[in-house]
A and B are shown apart, each in its own frame.
Chain A
Amino acid sequence: MDIGVLIQILVWGIYAGCIYILLAIGLNLIFGVMKVVNFAHGELLMLGAYAAFWIYTFSSINPYLIVPLSMLLIAILGIFIERLCFRPIMGTGKLNEIFLSLGLIYLFQNLVAFLWSTNSRYIRSPYGEVVVHIGAIKLPLDYLIIIIVTIVFLIAFQLFMKKTTTGRAMRATSQNREAAALMGINVERMDMLSFALGSALAAAAGSLWLISGQMANPYMGAIPAIKAFAVVIIGGLGSIPGAIIAGMTLGIAENVVPYFMQALVAVFGYEMSFTGWKDTIAFLILIIVLILRPTGIFGERGE
């Protein structure tokens, strides 16, 4: 086993973890405030990636500058989704919310396929060829940028939730909706804001995913969404620190475990690749956690 390769794989894991964290935090925020799980969150990631792709195609400015624009567009879309779909059915049963997001998945995937075909789209990042050498370790610059951007987003998000009045109002709403309303907080505006913010984070994940060399297609949202759900479950529904720890763990585990398995099998003289089992590993971790703790590791609030 090569330590240099291992560290490289570790960085890949952190990079994948960043995408999952961005998605999971959005899901957690929406759940905290509205007590709604949006299963179409992966489709917001997909739409964010497409928004970035089209803006880039028509303007060809530095793709990283497009990320905020794509976030804004998808945030507006999120507000519409909240207004037209989730708000009217709030409180009519959890299954209804699940079914409604199912309809949204269907709608968005096929709308995109209809408008822009199912061809894979990609952006050539200006730093695509740049590789940072740290000793013997080679890291693509794009991955480093994404890790840094995610950390910046997380700090900004935390500051917003802790220091600003709006952030405090959102936290109050997620702790106790009725009490918050009685204190004069406009809880419906908080719903709207949380959905917009969650959608924007999903769009950020999608655009960054695309810029770092991943393909965009109408069905790209499903797998990252599943991972984000796993992160949310492992980290505990509604827990932001839980999501960060779980997202990192998952991202690293699903990249490192196949490598270890390959090394293990090599000891016995076999040559096998386990990269196809990545998604299975995420799911196995999820199952084990759920058997041990049905509310997730950091989730203590029984709903």
Chain B
Amino acid sequence: MKLGRLSIKAYLGIVSLILAVLIPLILGISHYLLTVLILMLVFIMYASAWNLLALSGQGSLGHAAFFGIGGYTSAIIANSLGISPFATILAGGFFAAFIGVLIGLTCVRLREWFLAMVTFGFAIIVHTVTTELSWLTGGWDGIPAKKLIPVTIPNYILYEYYLVLLITVIVIAIIYLIMKSKIGLALEAIRENELEAKVMGINVTKYKLMAFAVSAFFTGIAGALEIHHFGYITPEVYGIDISFWPIIYCISGGLLTIEGPILGTILITLLDESLKNFGWTYERYILIGLILILVVRFLPKGFVSIPEKIKSKLRSHS
């Protein structure tokens, strides 16, 4: 039974990947559609990276800081050295990871609430620093960022989509391998009971810092990809909502699973986009806030737990 379920999961994964590759061919090359899909992929990466940190029991409320740091680093290096964004995206990831370790150093000893407060505050501080250092970051107006694929190439958006898809698949695969490895087990042990984990000989500080670094790294990469897709970056990348999106995706999809953030991102993005086309602005955020509250209250394991819930309901009836 267990094996069968696992293979169903893997099967679904492969089907959705094939679908992702074929979508532009099926629905035609629409600029709007591909933009939505690219952003969806970026946020899948971002949410999965956030999820990895949550796996160690550290719920960050300020991941936009790393998202924006990755973006600004990449944009500034690409602009000043005149090199292609492909190299600078990695630089963005590494710098975000570096800052992540620094913040992690203060956070590893903290309890959940303190950590949430510190990360929440950190995003706001980075926002202030960015707007104040206007000689480097362009202040409130931001700076231009090079496009991933030059706009002059016909159907550039299609190449961009496949590029981001490829990177997303690689990132998800790495995160999956980490979650299934000894590191993932150690992180889970730390989340369940830090003291016990310590007694069992797990170096808690090392693993927590590692989670911070890896999570910040992939978040930085996602941020760099997003801004190189848009072609500019402003301090708005540090907005509170950018910090909250990955959390909403992970919770609604299913926290601490590999498929939860993916499913959550797809479903919430589809909902958000369709409501946007409906002409809704604040209403759709109100709705998303309500969904978050209801999921935490009634479905703490997220959408991925719905099949199981139905199954156990059916079993208890028969």
Q: Mark B275-305, 1 if CB is under 8 A from A, else 0.
A: 0000001110110111111001100100000
* Total A-B residue contacts, Cβ distance less than 8 Å: 126
Q: Mark A204-240, 1 if CB is under 8 A from B, else 0.
A: 0000000000000001001100100110110001000
The residue in chain A whose Cβ has the minimal distance to the Cβ of B292 is A103
Contacts of A233 in B (CB 8 A): 114, 117-118
> Which of A8-16, A104-112, A152-160, A262-270 lies at the interface?
A104-112
- Could you tell me the distance between the alpha carbons of A110 and B290 in the complex, rounded to whole angstroms? 11
Say which residue of B247, B289, B300 sits within 8 Å of A104 (CB atoms).
B289
- Could you tell me the distance between the alpha carbons of A286 and B248 in the complex, rounded to whole angstroms? 27
Known A-B contacts A85-B293, A107-B286; the reply to A279 vs B125 at CB < 8 A is yes
The reply to whether A95 and B292 contact each other, CB–CB distance below 8 Å, is no
Contacts of A184 in B (CB 8 A): none
Interface assignment of B197: CB less than 8 Å from any CB of chain A: no
Say which residue of B121, B286, B292 sits within 8 Å of A226 (CB atoms).
B121
The reply to whether A106 and B132 contact each other, CB–CB distance below 8 Å, is no
Known A-B contacts A39-B120, A229-B121; the reply to A102 vs B285 at CB < 8 A is no
The reply to whether A277 and B132 contact each other, CB–CB distance below 8 Å, is yes
Chain A interface SS verdict (over half): helix
Known A-B contacts A103-B289, A290-B118; the reply to A113 vs B106 at CB < 8 A is no
The residue in chain B whose Cβ has the minimal distance to the Cβ of A112 is B282
Interface assignment of A283: CB less than 8 Å from any CB of chain B: yes
Known A-B contacts A230-B117, A280-B125, A294-B109; the reply to A106 vs B289 at CB < 8 A is yes
Q: B residues 97-113 with Cβ under 8 Å of A?
A: 106, 109-113
The reply to whether A283 and B59 contact each other, CB–CB distance below 8 Å, is no
Chain B interface SS verdict (over half): helix
Say which residue of A92, A95, A219, A294 sits within 8 Å of B112 (CB atoms).
A95
Interface assignment of A100: CB less than 8 Å from any CB of chain B: yes
The residue in chain A whose Cβ has the minimal distance to the Cβ of B283 is A114
Q: A residues 95-150 with Cβ under 8 Å of B?
A: 95-96, 98-100, 102-111, 113-114
Known A-B contacts A95-B54, A287-B106, A291-B106; the reply to A103 vs B125 at CB < 8 A is no
- Could you tell me the distance between the alpha carbons of A110 and B282 in the complex, rounded to whole angstroms? 5
Interface assignment of B257: CB less than 8 Å from any CB of chain A: no
Interface assignment of A94: CB less than 8 Å from any CB of chain B: yes
Interface assignment of B35: CB less than 8 Å from any CB of chain A: no
Q: A99-B296, A290-B110 are in contact. List 12 more A-B contacts (CB 8 A).
A: A89-B296, A95-B54, A96-B296, A98-B113, A106-B286, A106-B292, A110-B285, A229-B117, A237-B113, A276-B131, A283-B121, A290-B106
Show 6 residue pairs from A and B whose CB-CB distance is below 8 angstroms, ordered by the A residue: A39-B61, A39-B116, A95-B255, A110-B289, A114-B282, A280-B129
